Chains A and B, each alone.
Chain A
Amino acid sequence: DAGVIQSPRHEVTEMGQEVTLRCKPISGHDYLFWYRQTMMRGLELLIYFNNNVPIDDSGMPEDRFSAKMPNASFSTLKIQPSEPRDSAVYFCASSPGLAGVETQYFGPGTRLLVL
């Protein structure tokens, strides 16, 4: 099993630029989660999907952030325009979502630095 795949692994961009992060969940998993991790705020849930439908986006910090899941094997998190305070590690995780087996499997993360 390839696990959750994220790209790019590292991204350095300048303030004001658009950033797109990509995620491929584990095949057969119905749930996909986007997290952000910083030293100050820890691991925060941004948004999650069930069967490609956004269920809860209450963690999305502001309108500059958007996420899509056009099909079961692909999701994107977009930041436009990016700001230095968006610098963080962004994790994608997936879960089969079955009761009792709802553990989440994390991808390797994308380290974003906005200058």
Chain B
Amino acid sequence: QKEVEQNSGPLSVPEGAIASLNCTYSDRVSQSFFWYRQYSGKSPELIMSIYSNGDKEDGRFTAQLNKASQYVSLLIRDSQPSDSATYLCAVRGSNDYKLSFGAGTTVTVRA
């Protein structure tokens, strides 16, 4: 069983719509959760981090964490063509600084 799993893509949404990305993790005592965005041919860049249950909003991005369900999600509101990228969910383990990454979900925003 993979440590971090993301909903399979690709995900295609029209401009202005909400893109919803999901991620589940297997280590029940994980503490830190991250969403990275990776444009084609570029390196991953951090867009959101979340540590407590609930929602965290940053501009058009909202991360949601439910530790009981071992579930973290990312919502992109008012999607723009510039949001077209692969989104990687990452989870930090309980005893070290390693990040486990999901396979990524590729999002395409149609103009």
A residues near B (Cβ < 8 Å) are 31, 33, 42-43, 45, 48, 50, 55-56, 91, 95, 97, 100, 102-109
**Closest approach, in angstroms, between the C-beta of B29 and any C-beta of chain A?**
15
Contact among B46, B97, B99, B100 with A50 in the assembled complex (CB-CB below 8 Å) = B97
Q: Which secondary structure dominates chain A's binding surface?
A: strand
Q: Chain B: residues with CB nearer than 8 A to chain A?
A: 32, 34, 42-46, 49, 51, 88, 92, 96-104
In contact, B97 and A108 (Cβ under 8 angstroms): no
Note all chain A residues with C-beta closer than 8 A to B34. 103
Given the known inter-chain contacts A42-B103, A42-B104, please indicate yes or no for A102 contacting B97, CB distance below 8 A. yes
Q: Which residues of A contact B49 (CB under 8 A)?
A: 103
Which chain A residues border B43 with CB–CB below 8 Å?
91, 106-109
Give 3 closest A-B pairs by Cβ, nearest first: A106-B43, A43-B101, A42-B103
B46 close to A104 (CB less than 8 A): yes
Quick check: A56 and B101 within 8 Å, CB to CB? Answer: no
Q: Are A31 and B97 neighbours in the complex by a CB distance under 8 Å?
A: yes
Residues of A within 8 A of B42 (CB): 108
Please indicate which of the listed interface residues A33, A50, A103 has the most CB atoms of chain B within 10 Å of its own CB: A103
- Contacting residue for A45 out of B44, B98, B102, CB 8 A: B98
With a cutoff of 8 Å between Cβ atoms, the chain A residues found around residue B46 in the complex are 103-105
Q: Could you say which of A43, A55, A56, A97 contacts B44, with CB atoms under 8 Å apart?
A: A43
CA distance A86 to B10 in the complex (A): 27
Min Cβ gap A49→B in Å is 10
25 A-B contacts, Cβ less than 8 Å apart?
Answer: A31-B97, A33-B99, A42-B102, A42-B104, A43-B44, A43-B88, A43-B101, A45-B98, A45-B99, A45-B100, A48-B98, A50-B97, A55-B97, A56-B96, A91-B43, A95-B97, A102-B32, A102-B92, A103-B34, A103-B49, A104-B46, A105-B46, A106-B43, A108-B43, A109-B43
